[in-house]
Every structure is written in C-alpha cells, then in structure tokens.
Chains A and B, each alone.
Chain A
C-alpha cells in the first residue's frame, strides 16, 4: 500500500465522523439529503473495507505480507498512536460495514423518523466500532469504546418509550461500570510495563519480573472482565437480551456486532500479550475463557428455549454465539481459531438478518399472539379442525408477503441452527472438525461439541414453533403490508451468507491465514516497530 492508498487505513474512522458532523449542520427537515449522505458514506465504507481486505490478502499485498501500519501524527511507535490493519481487522471492518449499510437501508422504511439525529448517531457508532478494530493502542481502544458506547446510548433511546428508557438505564449503568474496570486494567498494565502500545506490550511482557507478574495478570484480568461484559458472558449478560429486545430493529441488528467487538479485543490481546512467546504469562486465563464460554452457551440455550418473544430468542442467540467463540478460544489451536472466525462472520450476519426480519414477522401476528407469545401450544384442537376443513379445497393460497417472510425466516433459522447447506453449517462443521482433529480430544472438547449441537437443536425447535405460530397458520385477516425497503436489506444480508457458503473455500483460506498471523505475533510486532516516521506520505 503506497501513496494515497495508505490513507485508506484511517478512512473508516474519518469518513463516518465527517459525514455525521456534516449532518448536524442540517436540521431534521432535510431528511432526504441526510439519507443520501449516510447511505453514501456507508456504501463507501463497505468499498473501503473491501479494499483493505484485498490489500491484506496474499493477492493484494504482492509478496509484502504482514499488517499495514498507519502512524497518527507521524510519530513512531511506541511514542505515537498507531492504527494497524491486518487480516482479522479487515474482516471485522467489512462485517461491520455490511451490517451498518443494511441497518441504515432498513431504517429508511420508518425507523429513522421516530426520533432526531438517527443517521448521525448511527454513523458515529460505525466510527467507534471501526476505530476499535483498527487501533493498536490500548488507551486509544478505550476512547473508541467510549465513542461507540456513547453513540449506542443515543441509539438505544431512539424512538423513546418506557421500555426503551428503562432498559437503557440499565445498559448505560453497566457500561459505565465496565468502562471504569477498563480504566483500572489499563492503569495496572501501564504501571507494570510502562507502555500502552499493544505491539510494544507484547515484547515487554516476556521481560516482566516475576514479582510484578501477578499485578500484570490482575490488570489483564480486570481488563478482560470489561470486555467480557461487552461480549455478554454469563454471569455478566443479564442486561443483554432485554436491552437488545427494546432497541429498534435496525439498531439491534448493528448491536449484533458490538458483542463481537469484545470478542475481537479478547482475541487480539490474548494472542499478542499472552501468546506462546510471552514467557511466564503465556496462556493466561485460557481455562477461564473456556468455562465462562461453556456456561454462557448453556445459559443462552436455556434462554432460547424459554423466551416468549422472538426478540428475546435473538438476544439469547447472541449469547450462544459469544459463548461458542469464547469456549473455542479457550481451547485454542490454529485450525480451530480459523473456524471460529468463520462462525463469527456467519453468525453475526445471521443474527443481524434475524433482528431485521422479526419486526415484519411479528407485525403480521395479531395482538393476541404477541402477548401470548410463542409459548402457547401450537397444535391445538382448533388447528386440527382448521386443517380438516380445508381438505375439500383445492389448495391454500399463500399470500406473497407470507411467502417472502416465510422464506427469509426459514433461511435465518437454517443459518442460526447450523443446518446444511448454508454457511452456518459450514462454520459449525469446521469448528467440530477442528475440535476432533486436535491431538488428545479432551472431555472439554466433547462438552463443547455437545453444546454446539444442542444449541442448534434448541434454535431449530424455537424457530419452528415461532414460524408455525406467526407465519404458517391460516390467518383470518389479510397480512400486513411489506415494503421493498424492508425486504431488500434482509435479502442482502442473506445473500452475503449465501455468498459465504458458495465461496467458503477462499474465505476459509483467508481466515486460516488470519489465524496463522494471530498465532505468530512477531509479525505484528515487527510491522509496528518498523513503521518508521516519514516513510509514508
């Protein structure tokens, strides 16, 4: 990456910032302008992320492999703050911005009108998430976390209402508390090592005197708790399903990536700081991640089965997804991490699509269904009667809306449950395969495999029940209207999942390279260390 292309690394942060700043200059009546502005910025972000993905791949880097480093203010690391883009960051960026674009598109249907400054806040949230994926400095990470959290506080309140205000009160409180833990962790790590640059930390941790190691590990553990709160790990996750259910659908879809920010940071820091090269501190807290992940999965599965609303099902599925990733991370191993990354991408897209499709699906159900929820017995006697009566008819006419929604819903269910042939199946198959191939398959591997399969079964049961209850029983009244603006983004997300399935080979190869780079932090450290000032335009 030479010349002006180098600035593509900082563009995912600057572009949404400038666009949202510009938007504040116009008042709410210029809605059309704002829509075009935010959609345009968001589409450019996708292209930008795709370009970064290309430049970090083998084909695009033309031999010069390794992460690309951007020195802010042209100060050399570790004195200045660096932005680093490697395969993992580029993947996460593309995922974020695809979700962001679809969320924005979906919001055009009516959600952006239910409160002021939706577009500006949405773009600021994208900026915070992008920044968190790009930064190579722990304190800068804190700042981007606060940017994304502050924007998310605004978005969760978007649309107002008692439920949203009450849920956001809990959400804001727990996130401020987690941010304070973040700061304590950062301060402890700084007091032991004297640096905040991630690459510099990676080299200094190996030299930490054994007397200070306990303090360093305490700092890392406190830092880890802050990220685990974001990732929604049991028992720090009770706020998550309720908050996500209360949020407006496009906002909830984007929030699906926010738990993954926590996972990403744990992934990045545990390999950089506590990889095999870091001496006494190597492998710190891997067991803790494993058990916490398994507990989260179990909690999520129970939650999925007991949820009475589809939004709660989606919220608990977010927990299952986080739990799977963390438990897998606790076991570790290069092929397993690659499979986990594939699962991360696939499950995040599927959760986003599910949040978007829930609202139109539930709109079709009448008030009674909404309140009774999906816990009622579906195959009651009256339905048996209904089916028998229809025998003399030539066939049941399925309205177009129901056909589209039903199709999308089945697609989502298959993706989430991990049934063939979609990308969810490939992801789970790859994880289980990697778990079984690892030398010495321990009881924990079997537990994880069992939980993955049970979570798929639970998802399938609940989605089938909800589908029958809300979509596939003959309804008396005509189905609600469905606009193209709502269908298109859902279709886009599902199409990306389809593309993931069709292109699973190249995607897997890229992610395997990402996993290999994660397991070899020396490349990352060298790239940051060698990025000399003045070497870039």
Chain B
C-alpha cells in the first residue's frame, strides 16, 4: 500500500507541475488541482498509513490502547486543506474567465507572444 500511495502522489505531483508550467490558464488551474490532490494525500501519509483503525477513541478511555487507533489530526488537517484549496481554485477559475474576457486570449500573460 505504501508503494501504491507514494506512486500516486508522485504521478499527481509530476503531472501537476508539468501542467502548472504550461502557457494556457486552464492547464495551470488543472495543474494546481492535481498538485493539491497530491498534497492532500501526502498529509494523510504524514500521519502514518493505517487501515482498519478508527481515529476516535470510544467511551472507555481508560482501557483504550492508543496504538490501536489512527492519528486523527492529519485527517482534520486534510479536511481543512481540501476546503481551502477548493475555494481558492474556484476563485482562480473566476479570475481566469475575467482575464479571458478582458484580454481575448487564454494565455497566462494575457497576450499570445509570437506563436
């Protein structure tokens, strides 16, 4: 599972970075989205990979063994990170459309160079 997750993060990061450096605004947005997926998976991985382990301890806190539980903090962090990157990406999408309308091109610099 570790290999699968790290490969997934690696592929997402690589394609996200490639798209981020493309000259079209839509590609840049897709790149940022892919990068944020990669980062979210990475945060989950930072809390150690566990399967079949609940993150919240039940009512009998005295007898519970913390080693049997997953770390709940990274999951909370990921939730926050997802919400924030979703909102900022949505805002960027609006700016993209405004830029397209004002400059008449979808190039990131607002003008189409010599190409």
A residues at B contact (CB < 8 Å):
139, 142-143, 146, 149-150, 153, 157, 160-162, 165-166, 168-170, 172-173, 176-177, 179-180, 183-184, 186-188, 190-191, 196
- Across the interface, A180 reaches (CB within 8 A) one of B28, B39, B91, B108, namely B39
Q: Are B99 and A169 in contact (CB under 8 A)?
A: yes
- Across the interface, A179 reaches (CB within 8 A) one of B45, B88, B110, namely B88
User: What is the CB-to-nearest-CB distance from A241 to chain B, in angstroms, rounded to a whole number?
Assistant: 16
Closest to A195 in B: B73
Q: Are A165 and B25 in contact (CB under 8 A)?
A: no
In the bound assembly, the distance between CA atoms of A160 and B49 in angstroms comes to: 46
Q: Are B92 and A173 in contact (CB under 8 A)?
A: yes
Q: Are A172 and B46 in contact (CB under 8 A)?
A: no
- Please give, as numbers and ranges, the residues of chain A lying within 8 Å of B45 by CB-CB distance: 187, 191
- Please give, as numbers and ranges, the residues of chain A lying within 8 Å of B109 by CB-CB distance: 166
Decide yes or no whether B6 CB sits under 8 A from chain A: no
- Please give, as numbers and ranges, the residues of chain A lying within 8 Å of B42 by CB-CB distance: 183-184, 187
Q: Are B20 and A187 in contact (CB under 8 A)?
A: no
Contacts A150-B87, A162-B102, A176-B88 known; A190 to B73 CB distance under 8 Å? yes
Q: Are B32 and A176 in contact (CB under 8 A)?
A: yes
User: What is the CB-to-nearest-CB distance from A131 to chain B, in angstroms, rounded to a whole number?
Assistant: 14
In the bound assembly, the distance between CA atoms of A165 and B35 in angstroms comes to: 23
Q: Are A146 and B39 in contact (CB under 8 A)?
A: no
Decide yes or no whether B53 CB sits under 8 A from chain A: no
Decide yes or no whether B85 CB sits under 8 A from chain A: yes
- Given A165-B98, A169-B108, A176-B92, 15 extra CB contacts under 8 A: A150-B88, A157-B98, A162-B103, A165-B99, A166-B99, A166-B110, A169-B95, A172-B88, A173-B28, A173-B108, A179-B84, A183-B81, A186-B77, A187-B45, A191-B45
In the bound assembly, the distance between CA atoms of A525 and B97 in angstroms comes to: 48
Q: Are A168 and B47 in contact (CB under 8 A)?
A: no
Interface positions of B from 69 to 114, Cβ below 8 Å from A: 73-74, 77, 80-81, 84-85, 87-89, 91-92, 95-96, 98-99, 102-103, 108-110
User: What is the CB-to-nearest-CB distance from B74 to chain A, in angstroms, rounded to a whole number?
Assistant: 7
- Please give, as numbers and ranges, the residues of chain A lying within 8 Å of B20 by CB-CB distance: 173, 177
Closest to A172 in B: B92
* 21 cross-chain CB contacts under 8 A: A139-B77, A139-B80, A142-B80, A143-B84, A146-B88, A160-B98, A166-B102, A166-B109, A168-B95, A169-B25, A169-B95, A169-B99, A173-B28, A173-B32, A177-B20, A180-B32, A187-B45, A190-B46, A190-B47, A191-B46, A191-B47
- Please give, as numbers and ranges, the residues of chain B lying within 8 Å of A177 by CB-CB distance: 20, 32, 35
Closest to A188 in B: B46
- Please give, as numbers and ranges, the residues of chain A lying within 8 Å of B81 by CB-CB distance: 183
- Please give, as numbers and ranges, the residues of chain B lying within 8 Å of A170 by CB-CB distance: 108
- Please give, as numbers and ranges, the residues of chain B lying within 8 Å of A168 by CB-CB distance: 95
The binding surface of chain A is classed by DSSP as helix
Report which residue of B32, B46, B80, B87 has the largest number of chain A beta carbons within 10 angstroms of its beta carbon: B46
Question: How big is the B interface, by class?
Answer: 20 to 34
Q: Are B84 and A169 in contact (CB under 8 A)?
A: no
User: What is the CB-to-nearest-CB distance from A117 to chain B, in angstroms, rounded to a whole number?
Assistant: 14
In the bound assembly, the distance between CA atoms of A191 and B46 in angstroms comes to: 5
In the bound assembly, the distance between CA atoms of A139 and B99 in angstroms comes to: 32
In the bound assembly, the distance between CA atoms of A172 and B103 in angstroms comes to: 18
Q: Are B80 and A172 in contact (CB under 8 A)?
A: no
Closest to B41 in A: A187
- Please give, as numbers and ranges, the residues of chain A lying within 8 Å of B36 by CB-CB distance: 176, 180
In the bound assembly, the distance between CA atoms of A500 and B10 in angstroms comes to: 52
Decide yes or no whether B14 CB sits under 8 A from chain A: no
Closest to B33 in A: A176
Q: Are A165 and B92 in contact (CB under 8 A)?
A: no
- Please give, as numbers and ranges, the residues of chain B lying within 8 Å of A149 by CB-CB distance: 88
User: What is the CB-to-nearest-CB distance from A167 to chain B, in angstroms, rounded to a whole number?
Assistant: 9
Contacts A177-B35, A180-B36, A190-B46 known; A166 to B103 CB distance under 8 Å? yes
In the bound assembly, the distance between CA atoms of A169 and B106 in angstroms comes to: 11
In the bound assembly, the distance between CA atoms of A134 and B100 in angstroms comes to: 39
Interface positions of B from 21 to 77, Cβ below 8 Å from A: 25, 28, 32, 35-36, 39, 42-43, 45-48, 73-74, 77
- Please give, as numbers and ranges, the residues of chain B lying within 8 Å of A142 by CB-CB distance: 80
In the bound assembly, the distance between CA atoms of A179 and B36 in angstroms comes to: 9
- Across the interface, B95 reaches (CB within 8 A) one of A139, A172, A188, A191, namely A172
In the bound assembly, the distance between CA atoms of A249 and B92 in angstroms comes to: 23
In the bound assembly, the distance between CA atoms of A166 and B98 in angstroms comes to: 9
Contacts A166-B103, A180-B39, A188-B46 known; A150 to B74 CB distance under 8 Å? no
Contacts A143-B80, A169-B108 known; A157 to B95 CB distance under 8 Å? yes
In the bound assembly, the distance between CA atoms of A150 and B98 in angstroms comes to: 17
Contacts A173-B32, A176-B85, A191-B46 known; A162 to B92 CB distance under 8 Å? no
In the bound assembly, the distance between CA atoms of A467 and B98 in angstroms comes to: 36
Closest to B35 in A: A180
- Please give, as numbers and ranges, the residues of chain A lying within 8 Å of B85 by CB-CB distance: 176, 179-180
In the bound assembly, the distance between CA atoms of A169 and B46 in angstroms comes to: 31
In the bound assembly, the distance between CA atoms of A146 and B89 in angstroms comes to: 12
- Please give, as numbers and ranges, the residues of chain A lying within 8 Å of B73 by CB-CB distance: 190, 196
In the bound assembly, the distance between CA atoms of A353 and B110 in angstroms comes to: 31
Contacts A162-B103, A169-B99, A183-B43 known; A190 to B88 CB distance under 8 Å? no
- Please give, as numbers and ranges, the residues of chain A lying within 8 Å of B88 by CB-CB distance: 146, 149-150, 153, 172, 176, 179
In the bound assembly, the distance between CA atoms of A161 and B74 in angstroms comes to: 41
- Please give, as numbers and ranges, the residues of chain B lying within 8 Å of A180 by CB-CB distance: 32, 35-36, 39, 85
